[in-house]
């Protein structure tokens, strides 16, 4: 089962965990991104997330479908925020339940790494004295 969401509302860790829980599962791995208060020593005031909505949803669904095929998993959830996020808020939650923890960890790691490469979402960092679009670090 797959649960993909692109939302301008705050993401809920508890709701995501509840959704992936299953009496069939032995292990759950959850990755949570949070907005950090600094980038290379510069204080971050907030982040602004912009998405190509329909393609972002379709690319997140592709990741979910791919990991469901590659590893033995029960449930896969990928939720991403859009809009303005303050420091400490949650841009992304990936939650995966599996019969065994190995698959849950490996698939969760693969999902966030792939999301950062393929899903058309962009963030701009707003500093006290400026702003910049974040570019991926190789």
Partner 1 sequence: MEVKVLVFGRARELAGSGSIAVHATDGATLADVIALVKTQHPAMAQLSAFSTAINGQYAAIDTLLSAGDEVAIIPPVSGG
What residue ranges bind partner 1 (CB under 8 A)? 33, 49-52, 54-56, 58, 80, 91-92, 112, 115-124, 133-136
Least separation in angstroms between CB 9 and partner 1: 17
105 interacts with, out of partner 1, its own copies, none, CB within 5 to 8 A per kind: its own copies
Task: Determine, following the binding rule CB under 8 A, whether residue 87 of this chain makes contact with its own copies.
Answer: yes
Task: Write out the E strands in the chain.
Answer: 2-7, 27-33, 38-39, 42-51, 75-81, 83-86, 92-98, 121-127, 130-133
> Where does this chain touch its own copies (CB under 8 A) — which range of 32-40, 49-57, 60-68, 77-85?
32-40
Q: How far apart are CA 97 and CA 101, in angstroms?
A: 8
* Pair 3, 76: CB distance under 8 Å: yes
Q: Cβ atoms within 10 A of the Cβ of 130, count?
A: 8
The site that binds its own copies (CB under 8 A) totals a number of residues, namely 31
Q: Does 13 bind its own copies (CB under 8 A)?
A: yes
Residue 68 binds its own copies, judged by CB under 8 A = no
Among the listed residues 123, 23, 121, the one whose alpha carbon sits nearest the alpha carbon of residue 63:
121
The residue among 5 and 112 lying less far from partner 1, judged by its C-beta, is: 112
| Residue 22, C-beta contacts closer than 8 angstroms, at least 6 positions apart | 74, 75, 97
Residues that bind its own copies (CB under 8 A): 13-14, 17, 21-38, 87-88, 97, 99, 101, 104-105, 108-109, 112
């Amino acid at each position: 089962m797959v649960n993909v969401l692109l939302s301008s509302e705050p993401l809920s860790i508890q709701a995501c965990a509840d959704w992936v829980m299953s009496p069939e599962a032995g292990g759950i791995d959850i990755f949570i991104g949070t907005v950090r208060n600094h980038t290379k020593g510069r204080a971050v005031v907030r982040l602004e997330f912009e998405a190509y909505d329909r393609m972002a949803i379709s690319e997140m669904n592709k990741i979910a479908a791919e990991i469901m095929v590659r590893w033995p998993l029960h449930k896969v959830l990928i939720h991403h925020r859009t809009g303005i996020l303050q420091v400490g808020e949650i841009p992304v939650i990936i939650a995966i339940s599996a019969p065994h923890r190995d698959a849950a960890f490996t698939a969760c790691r693969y999902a966030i790494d792939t999301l950062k490469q393929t899903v058309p979402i962009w963030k701009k960092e707003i500093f006290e004295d400026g702003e910049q679009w974040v570019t991926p670090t190789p």
